[in-house]
């Protein structure tokens, strides 16, 4: 019960202050968060492919 109270105390104000104003704006270019998400996805794909290549290369040697 105490944890739920602390969670509500921490999350509710964050949600209130993080809300947008409701006024739409034209997007002219990608946001920085979009670029960062794309970069992290590329890094993740690279790491996973490298790990899978190493795993299957090790299996072929045996």
Q: What is the pLDDT of residues 9-59, one digit of tens each?
A: 676 665 556 656 677 788 888 888 899 999 999 999 999 999 999 998 887
Domain spans of the chain, in order of start? 31-62
As a whole number of angstroms, the distance between CA 47 and CA 45 comes to 6
- Name the phi and psi angles at 37, rounded to 5: -65, -40
pLDDT given for residue 11 in this prediction: 66
As a whole number of angstroms, the distance between CA 59 and CA 57 comes to 5
As a whole number of angstroms, the distance between CA 32 and CA 43 comes to 17
As a whole number of angstroms, the distance between CA 55 and CA 49 comes to 10
């Amino acid at each position: 019960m105490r944890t739920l109270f602390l969670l509500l105390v921490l999350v509710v104000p964050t949600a209130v202050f993080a809300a947008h104003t409701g006024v739409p704006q034209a997007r002219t270019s990608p946001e920085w968060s979009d670029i960062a998400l794309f970069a992290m996805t590329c890094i993740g794909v690279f790491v996973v492919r490298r790990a899978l290549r190493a795993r299957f290369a090790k299996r072929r040697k045996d």
